[in-house]
Structures are given as structure tokens and as C-alpha cells.
Structure 1
Amino acid sequence: MKKIEAIIRKSKFSEVKEALHEVGVNFFSYWDVTGLGNEKVGKVYRGVSFSTNDIQRRQLSIIVNDDFEQITVETLLKTASTGEVGDGKVFVSDVLETYRIRTGEKGGETLK
């Protein structure tokens, strides 16, 4: 099993969520995060200057069986991209075991 964590632009979240559902990833957790990026240029919005040092993003945490890793990552890369600095990152790590709290069963079947 794999844990796929993605940090994406908030504006791309709906599109990413729909694309993940289309490929069969029907459960994941997400939350709003703030981070620091490489972009050091200030922006002007409606005449007000603001810093881009603190970047508002959405973080997704997705656990999938090994056979879903590639399609999940490809879907994230394709749908979260705008082609500009600040599109985000995807991290993949191993998950040793999962347990379903309700029944106590363990393993990949708990992801269904």
C-alpha cells in the first residue's frame, strides 16, 4: 500500500477531486495548509500589494493499494498543473498496514 500526499492550489481542488473519483479513488482526506515556497515576488490585487511568501494550498492524503499508485499520481500531476511556479508537490511513501476500526480486519481490503 502507498500513501500519496499532494499539496495543490486551492483553485484546482474541485477538478482534482472529480478526476480522482473518475479513476476509482473514492476516499481521501484533505485540509487547508499554509507553506513557504520559492516564489519571493509580491503580487498586486485590486491595487493592494501583498506578499506571496505564505502560500495558501490544500493538502490531500490518499492511501491506495500498490496497483493504484501510478494512476493516482498521474491523475494528480495532470489535473493539478497550471504550468506555473507554485503548482505544488506530490509525495509517495509506503504504508506497512491498515486496519478497519469497526471490524478489526487488516490489509488492503480495508481500503474498499
Structure 2
Amino acid sequence: MSGEPATPTLTQRVRYIAGATLPPSMHQWVIDDLTGPGAARRYHLRILLPIIAPLCVFLLIPGPLWMGLAMMALLYLPLIYFTTALMYVYRRHRLAKHGLDPALADARERQKHAAEREAYERRHRR
């Protein structure tokens, strides 16, 4: 191996987005995808973008345009809320599904708090 982290092919990536697991050689990629920079953005895009096309069916219902848009909003706004609320649970589940430690989902927060704690202790000489 060349030392570079393995990245999934297009087919593997589509299957991964649909919920499939990737081979162990790509575990670092999975960790970076679920916990690295931009993970929240990718998570939201993967869930919230594909649902827009089926929701556009409401625009075909006879009546004023605002009625179809209101029906779309009645479904889409709670989806945004619950998607955001369940992001942490989803990350832990995907890590566990790949055989990785679910605690990796909040590793960055723990590092941040440790750095803050260290700075606090330095300031107050503890």
C-alpha cells in the first residue's frame, strides 16, 4: 500500500450512503467522514437533499402554489429538526456498524474540552 488512506469507489460510496458497510481497509475514511471537518454538513445533505424530489409531487396538486409549498413545508421542517436532533445517534450507530468504537463520535468534543481544561489549569496554576 502507498500509505494513503483508502477511499471508496463510486459504487461503494453510493452503497455507503444507503447504509452499507465498507471494508476494514477504509475504516479511517469512515471515521473521517463521520467525525471529521464537514461531517455535519455531509450528513444533512445526504438526508435532506434526496427527499426534495418526492416532496415536489405536492406541487402537482391542483390549487394555488402556496398550498403545495405549505404541504411540502409541513413534512420538510420536522424532517430538518429530527435529522439534526438524531445526528449524534446516527454517527454512533454508523461507527458501531463498521466495528469501530462509537465513542469516536464525540472525540473532537473531548479533545476541545481537554484543551480548555488545560488552559484553565495553566491560568489558575493548578
Q: TM-score, normalised by structure 2?
A: 0.21
Which has more strand, going by share of residues? 1
Between Structure 1 and Structure 2, whose CA radius of gyration is higher? 2
Which has more helix, going by share of residues? 2
Q: TM-score, normalised by structure 1?
A: 0.23
